[in-house]
Chain A
Amino acid sequence: MIRPATAARFRPGDAVRVPNVEKKGHVRTPEYVKGKRGRVTGILGGFPDPESLAYGGAGLPEKPLYRVCFRQTDLWEGYAGPPGDTLHVDIYEHWLEPAIEES
Protein backbone atom coordinates (compact mmCIF):
# COMPACT_ATOMS: atom_id res chain seq x y z
CA MET A 1 0.00 0.00 0.00
CA ILE A 2 1.46 3.36 -0.93
CA ARG A 3 -1.30 5.57 0.51
CA PRO A 4 -3.49 5.09 3.55
CA ALA A 5 -6.58 3.14 2.55
CA THR A 6 -10.12 4.01 3.21
CA ALA A 7 -12.13 0.95 4.24
CA ALA A 8 -11.46 -1.55 1.46
CA ARG A 9 -14.07 -4.06 0.37
CA PHE A 10 -11.71 -6.46 -1.40
CA ARG A 11 -8.59 -8.30 -0.28
CA PRO A 12 -5.60 -9.55 -2.26
CA GLY A 13 -6.54 -12.87 -3.81
CA ASP A 14 -10.22 -11.96 -4.27
CA ALA A 15 -11.79 -12.84 -7.62
CA VAL A 16 -13.41 -9.75 -9.10
CA ARG A 17 -15.26 -8.70 -12.21
CA VAL A 18 -15.39 -5.31 -13.87
CA PRO A 19 -19.04 -4.42 -14.50
CA ASN A 20 -19.82 -4.06 -18.18
CA VAL A 21 -21.59 -0.72 -17.94
CA GLU A 22 -21.37 2.44 -19.96
CA LYS A 23 -20.53 5.59 -18.09
CA LYS A 24 -20.20 8.82 -19.99
CA GLY A 25 -17.46 11.30 -19.27
CA HIS A 26 -14.09 10.88 -17.60
CA VAL A 27 -13.54 7.29 -16.48
CA ARG A 28 -10.19 5.68 -15.73
CA THR A 29 -11.34 2.11 -16.22
CA PRO A 30 -10.21 0.92 -19.66
CA GLU A 31 -12.97 -0.40 -21.92
CA TYR A 32 -11.16 -3.64 -22.63
CA VAL A 33 -11.47 -4.93 -19.06
CA LYS A 34 -15.21 -4.27 -18.83
CA GLY A 35 -17.10 -7.50 -18.25
CA LYS A 36 -13.80 -9.34 -17.60
CA ARG A 37 -12.78 -11.34 -14.56
CA GLY A 38 -9.54 -10.75 -12.73
CA ARG A 39 -7.93 -11.11 -9.36
CA VAL A 40 -6.96 -8.48 -6.81
CA THR A 41 -3.21 -8.60 -6.24
CA GLY A 42 -2.84 -5.56 -4.01
CA ILE A 43 -4.46 -2.54 -2.43
CA LEU A 44 -2.75 0.72 -3.40
CA GLY A 45 -4.66 2.85 -0.89
CA GLY A 46 -7.32 5.52 -0.99
CA PHE A 47 -7.21 8.03 -3.87
CA PRO A 48 -9.43 10.98 -4.78
CA ASP A 49 -12.13 9.89 -7.21
CA PRO A 50 -10.97 10.96 -10.71
CA GLU A 51 -14.55 10.95 -11.96
CA SER A 52 -15.20 13.84 -9.57
CA LEU A 53 -11.82 15.58 -9.93
CA ALA A 54 -12.22 15.77 -13.70
CA TYR A 55 -15.22 18.08 -13.30
CA GLY A 56 -13.79 20.35 -10.63
CA GLY A 57 -15.01 18.23 -7.71
CA ALA A 58 -13.00 17.45 -4.60
CA GLY A 59 -12.78 13.73 -5.38
CA LEU A 60 -14.29 12.85 -2.03
CA PRO A 61 -14.87 10.41 -0.55
CA GLU A 62 -11.59 8.84 -1.63
CA LYS A 63 -11.90 5.52 -3.44
CA PRO A 64 -9.80 2.48 -2.63
CA LEU A 65 -7.58 1.69 -5.63
CA TYR A 66 -6.66 -1.91 -6.37
CA ARG A 67 -4.09 -3.69 -8.50
CA VAL A 68 -6.06 -6.17 -10.54
CA CYS A 69 -4.44 -8.94 -12.56
CA PHE A 70 -6.10 -10.33 -15.68
CA ARG A 71 -5.01 -13.28 -17.81
CA GLN A 72 -4.24 -12.03 -21.30
CA THR A 73 -6.03 -15.05 -22.75
CA ASP A 74 -9.19 -13.91 -20.88
CA LEU A 75 -8.97 -10.43 -22.40
CA TRP A 76 -8.22 -11.09 -26.05
CA GLU A 77 -9.50 -13.80 -28.30
CA GLY A 78 -6.57 -15.50 -30.02
CA TYR A 79 -3.97 -13.83 -27.78
CA ALA A 80 -0.54 -14.56 -29.27
CA GLY A 81 1.49 -15.58 -26.24
CA PRO A 82 1.78 -18.21 -23.53
CA PRO A 83 -1.10 -18.62 -21.03
CA GLY A 84 1.02 -17.18 -18.22
CA ASP A 85 1.04 -13.68 -19.73
CA THR A 86 -0.85 -11.19 -17.59
CA LEU A 87 -2.14 -7.64 -17.67
CA HIS A 88 -2.36 -5.44 -14.58
CA VAL A 89 -4.69 -2.48 -14.26
CA ASP A 90 -5.31 -0.16 -11.32
CA ILE A 91 -9.06 -0.06 -10.72
CA TYR A 92 -11.12 1.99 -8.27
CA GLU A 93 -13.42 0.08 -5.98
CA HIS A 94 -16.69 1.24 -7.55
CA TRP A 95 -15.56 -0.41 -10.80
CA LEU A 96 -15.24 -3.85 -9.19
CA GLU A 97 -17.75 -6.46 -8.09
CA PRO A 98 -17.16 -9.87 -6.53
CA ALA A 99 -16.80 -12.72 -9.02
CA ILE A 100 -17.71 -16.31 -8.37
CA GLU A 101 -14.57 -18.36 -7.80
CA GLU A 102 -13.69 -20.69 -10.64
CA SER A 103 -13.46 -24.30 -9.55
Chain B
Amino acid sequence: MSENGHEHEHGHPHAEPKHETSPWAARIRAVEELLAEKGILTHEEVEAQIEYMEARSYENGARLVARAWTDPGFKELLLRDTKAACSQLGIDASGTVEFVTVENTPATHNLIVCTLCSCYPRAILGRPPDWYKSPAYRSRAVVEPRAVMREFGLEIPEDTSVSVHDSSADVRYLVLPMRPPGTEGMTEDELADLVTRDCLVGTAVPREPARV
Protein backbone atom coordinates (compact mmCIF):
# COMPACT_ATOMS: atom_id res chain seq x y z
CA MET B 1 0.00 0.00 0.00
CA SER B 2 1.35 3.41 -0.91
CA GLU B 3 1.30 6.37 1.42
CA ASN B 4 -2.15 7.34 0.23
CA GLY B 5 -3.48 3.84 0.13
CA HIS B 6 -3.52 3.89 -3.65
CA GLU B 7 -1.28 4.82 -6.52
CA HIS B 8 -2.23 8.24 -7.72
CA GLU B 9 0.59 10.09 -9.41
CA HIS B 10 -0.97 11.94 -12.28
CA GLY B 11 0.67 15.29 -11.86
CA HIS B 12 -2.41 17.47 -11.31
CA PRO B 13 -1.95 20.67 -9.32
CA HIS B 14 -3.86 19.12 -6.41
CA ALA B 15 -1.29 16.34 -6.07
CA GLU B 16 0.69 18.54 -3.71
CA PRO B 17 -1.76 18.69 -0.76
CA LYS B 18 -1.62 14.89 -0.62
CA HIS B 19 1.90 15.25 0.75
CA GLU B 20 0.92 17.82 3.35
CA THR B 21 1.82 16.66 6.81
CA SER B 22 -0.51 18.88 8.86
CA PRO B 23 -2.90 17.12 11.26
CA TRP B 24 -5.80 18.42 9.12
CA ALA B 25 -4.41 16.84 5.98
CA ALA B 26 -3.78 13.60 7.82
CA ARG B 27 -7.31 13.58 9.12
CA ILE B 28 -8.78 14.23 5.64
CA ARG B 29 -6.68 11.37 4.24
CA ALA B 30 -7.89 9.09 7.03
CA VAL B 31 -11.53 10.01 6.39
CA GLU B 32 -11.07 9.44 2.66
CA GLU B 33 -9.51 6.05 3.29
CA LEU B 34 -12.35 5.02 5.58
CA LEU B 35 -15.00 6.12 3.10
CA ALA B 36 -13.27 4.18 0.35
CA GLU B 37 -12.77 1.12 2.54
CA LYS B 38 -16.45 1.08 3.45
CA GLY B 39 -17.40 1.47 -0.21
CA ILE B 40 -19.21 4.77 0.32
CA LEU B 41 -16.96 6.74 -2.04
CA THR B 42 -14.21 5.80 -4.43
CA HIS B 43 -10.94 7.70 -4.70
CA GLU B 44 -11.89 8.42 -8.29
CA GLU B 45 -15.07 10.15 -7.14
CA VAL B 46 -13.08 12.27 -4.70
CA GLU B 47 -10.65 13.22 -7.48
CA ALA B 48 -13.54 14.03 -9.82
CA GLN B 49 -15.09 16.31 -7.20
CA ILE B 50 -11.77 18.09 -6.62
CA GLU B 51 -11.40 18.62 -10.35
CA TYR B 52 -15.01 19.91 -10.55
CA MET B 53 -14.28 22.43 -7.82
CA GLU B 54 -10.93 23.52 -9.21
CA ALA B 55 -12.47 24.15 -12.64
CA ARG B 56 -14.62 26.88 -11.06
CA SER B 57 -13.53 30.36 -10.15
CA TYR B 58 -14.87 33.83 -9.52
CA GLU B 59 -14.21 34.50 -13.21
CA ASN B 60 -17.54 32.79 -13.88
CA GLY B 61 -19.18 35.44 -11.72
CA ALA B 62 -17.26 38.20 -13.50
CA ARG B 63 -18.59 36.95 -16.84
CA LEU B 64 -22.17 36.94 -15.51
CA VAL B 65 -21.74 40.51 -14.28
CA ALA B 66 -20.14 41.80 -17.49
CA ARG B 67 -22.94 40.27 -19.58
CA ALA B 68 -25.58 41.74 -17.26
CA TRP B 69 -23.98 45.19 -17.64
CA THR B 70 -24.16 45.01 -21.42
CA ASP B 71 -27.43 43.11 -21.97
CA PRO B 72 -30.56 44.25 -20.07
CA GLY B 73 -32.42 41.05 -20.98
CA PHE B 74 -29.61 38.95 -19.52
CA LYS B 75 -29.57 41.08 -16.38
CA GLU B 76 -33.28 40.50 -15.93
CA LEU B 77 -32.72 36.74 -16.33
CA LEU B 78 -29.77 36.73 -13.89
CA LEU B 79 -31.85 38.43 -11.20
CA ARG B 80 -34.89 36.22 -11.83
CA ASP B 81 -33.22 32.85 -12.49
CA THR B 82 -29.47 32.72 -11.83
CA LYS B 83 -29.20 29.07 -12.90
CA ALA B 84 -30.72 29.81 -16.30
CA ALA B 85 -28.37 32.78 -16.73
CA CYS B 86 -25.38 30.55 -15.90
CA SER B 87 -26.57 28.01 -18.42
CA GLN B 88 -26.70 30.67 -21.15
CA LEU B 89 -22.99 31.38 -20.58
CA GLY B 90 -22.10 27.70 -20.47
CA ILE B 91 -21.53 27.71 -16.70
CA ASP B 92 -22.78 24.46 -15.20
CA ALA B 93 -24.72 25.35 -12.06
CA SER B 94 -27.37 22.72 -12.62
CA GLY B 95 -26.89 20.87 -9.31
CA THR B 96 -29.39 20.82 -6.50
CA VAL B 97 -28.13 24.01 -4.86
CA GLU B 98 -30.18 27.14 -5.61
CA PHE B 99 -28.80 30.62 -6.30
CA VAL B 100 -30.09 34.14 -6.00
CA THR B 101 -28.34 37.22 -7.38
CA VAL B 102 -28.89 40.51 -5.54
CA GLU B 103 -28.36 43.82 -7.30
CA ASN B 104 -26.39 46.75 -5.96
CA THR B 105 -28.04 50.10 -6.71
CA PRO B 106 -27.28 53.67 -5.67
CA ALA B 107 -29.83 53.09 -2.85
CA THR B 108 -28.67 49.64 -1.66
CA HIS B 109 -25.34 47.87 -1.26
CA ASN B 110 -25.42 44.10 -0.65
CA LEU B 111 -23.03 42.01 1.44
CA ILE B 112 -23.04 38.21 1.64
CA VAL B 113 -22.10 36.13 4.67
CA CYS B 114 -22.92 32.74 6.12
CA THR B 115 -22.87 32.95 9.89
CA LEU B 116 -23.52 29.26 10.51
CA CYS B 117 -20.74 27.82 8.35
CA SER B 118 -19.35 29.17 5.10
CA CYS B 119 -22.09 28.67 2.49
CA TYR B 120 -20.91 30.17 -0.78
CA PRO B 121 -21.98 29.78 -4.42
CA ARG B 122 -19.21 27.23 -5.01
CA ALA B 123 -20.80 25.65 -8.07
CA ILE B 124 -20.38 29.01 -9.82
CA LEU B 125 -17.44 30.72 -8.07
CA GLY B 126 -15.40 27.81 -6.77
CA ARG B 127 -13.98 27.81 -3.27
CA PRO B 128 -14.54 30.78 -0.99
CA PRO B 129 -11.60 32.88 0.20
CA ASP B 130 -10.23 31.89 3.61
CA TRP B 131 -11.41 35.10 5.26
CA TYR B 132 -14.99 34.29 4.23
CA LYS B 133 -14.78 31.18 6.42
CA SER B 134 -13.17 32.94 9.39
CA PRO B 135 -15.20 33.29 12.60
CA ALA B 136 -14.30 37.00 12.60
CA TYR B 137 -15.91 37.71 9.24
CA ARG B 138 -18.89 35.44 9.89
CA SER B 139 -19.74 37.09 13.18
CA ARG B 140 -18.83 40.70 12.45
CA ALA B 141 -20.38 40.99 8.96
CA VAL B 142 -23.88 40.83 10.45
CA VAL B 143 -23.24 43.05 13.50
CA GLU B 144 -21.07 45.77 11.99
CA PRO B 145 -21.10 45.35 8.19
CA ARG B 146 -19.99 48.93 7.52
CA ALA B 147 -16.94 48.59 9.76
CA VAL B 148 -16.02 45.27 8.13
CA MET B 149 -16.31 46.74 4.63
CA ARG B 150 -14.24 49.72 5.73
CA GLU B 151 -11.47 47.31 6.68
CA PHE B 152 -11.66 45.98 3.12
CA GLY B 153 -11.23 49.57 1.93
CA LEU B 154 -14.87 50.05 1.03
CA GLU B 155 -16.73 53.01 2.51
CA ILE B 156 -20.50 52.86 1.92
CA PRO B 157 -22.10 56.32 2.02
CA GLU B 158 -24.66 56.94 4.79
CA ASP B 159 -27.41 57.55 2.23
CA THR B 160 -26.91 54.07 0.77
CA SER B 161 -28.56 51.28 2.75
CA VAL B 162 -26.54 48.18 3.51
CA SER B 163 -28.38 44.88 3.07
CA VAL B 164 -26.58 41.91 4.63
CA HIS B 165 -27.63 38.47 3.41
CA ASP B 166 -27.00 35.61 5.83
CA SER B 167 -27.08 32.61 3.50
CA SER B 168 -27.26 30.00 6.22
CA ALA B 169 -30.14 27.94 4.77
CA ASP B 170 -30.42 26.47 1.27
CA VAL B 171 -29.80 29.37 -1.11
CA ARG B 172 -26.42 30.76 -2.14
CA TYR B 173 -26.11 34.45 -2.95
CA LEU B 174 -24.11 36.47 -5.46
CA VAL B 175 -23.86 40.25 -5.71
CA LEU B 176 -24.40 42.02 -9.02
CA PRO B 177 -22.28 45.15 -8.54
CA MET B 178 -22.95 48.47 -10.27
CA ARG B 179 -21.13 49.22 -13.49
CA PRO B 180 -18.54 51.87 -12.70
CA PRO B 181 -18.51 55.17 -14.57
CA GLY B 182 -15.92 55.64 -17.28
CA THR B 183 -16.47 52.17 -18.73
CA GLU B 184 -18.56 53.19 -21.72
CA GLY B 185 -17.31 51.53 -24.86
CA MET B 186 -15.43 48.77 -23.05
CA THR B 187 -15.84 45.25 -24.34
CA GLU B 188 -17.48 42.55 -22.27
CA ASP B 189 -14.08 40.93 -21.61
CA GLU B 190 -12.61 44.24 -20.48
CA LEU B 191 -15.59 44.78 -18.18
CA ALA B 192 -15.21 41.29 -16.70
CA ASP B 193 -11.61 42.16 -15.81
CA LEU B 194 -12.90 44.92 -13.50
CA VAL B 195 -14.92 42.44 -11.43
CA THR B 196 -12.86 40.90 -8.64
CA ARG B 197 -13.92 37.99 -6.46
CA ASP B 198 -14.67 40.31 -3.55
CA CYS B 199 -17.08 42.33 -5.75
CA LEU B 200 -19.27 39.21 -5.93
CA VAL B 201 -19.39 38.96 -2.13
CA GLY B 202 -19.88 42.70 -1.63
CA THR B 203 -16.67 43.52 0.23
CA ALA B 204 -15.48 45.47 -2.82
CA VAL B 205 -16.93 47.30 -5.80
CA PRO B 206 -15.53 47.38 -9.34
CA ARG B 207 -13.22 50.33 -9.79
CA GLU B 208 -13.21 52.84 -12.57
CA PRO B 209 -10.41 51.88 -14.94
CA ALA B 210 -7.24 53.92 -14.54
CA ARG B 211 -6.89 56.55 -17.20
CA VAL B 212 -3.80 56.18 -19.33
Contacts and interface: CB of A to CB of B under 8 A. Distances in A.
Contacts of B197: none
A20 interface: no
A85 B145 contact: yes
Contact of B170 (A30, A72, A85, A90): A90
B171 A82 contact: no
Nearest to B110: A88
Interface size of B as a range: 20 to 34
Contacts of B142: 30, 32, 75, 87
B211 to A, nearest CB: 33
A80 B158 CA distance: 11
Interface in A38-92: 44-45, 47, 50, 65, 72, 75-76, 79-82, 84-92
A86 B98 contact: no
Nearest to A86: B163
Contacts of A84: 161
A28 interface: yes
Contacts of B162: 72, 81, 85-86
Interface of A: 2-3, 28, 30, 32, 44-45, 47, 50, 65, 72, 75-76, 79-82, 84-92
Given A2-B100, A82-B159, 19 more contacts: A2-B98, A3-B98, A30-B168, A32-B142, A44-B98, A45-B98, A50-B169, A50-B170, A65-B169, A72-B162, A81-B145, A81-B146, A82-B158, A85-B164, A86-B164, A87-B163, A88-B163, A90-B167, A90-B171
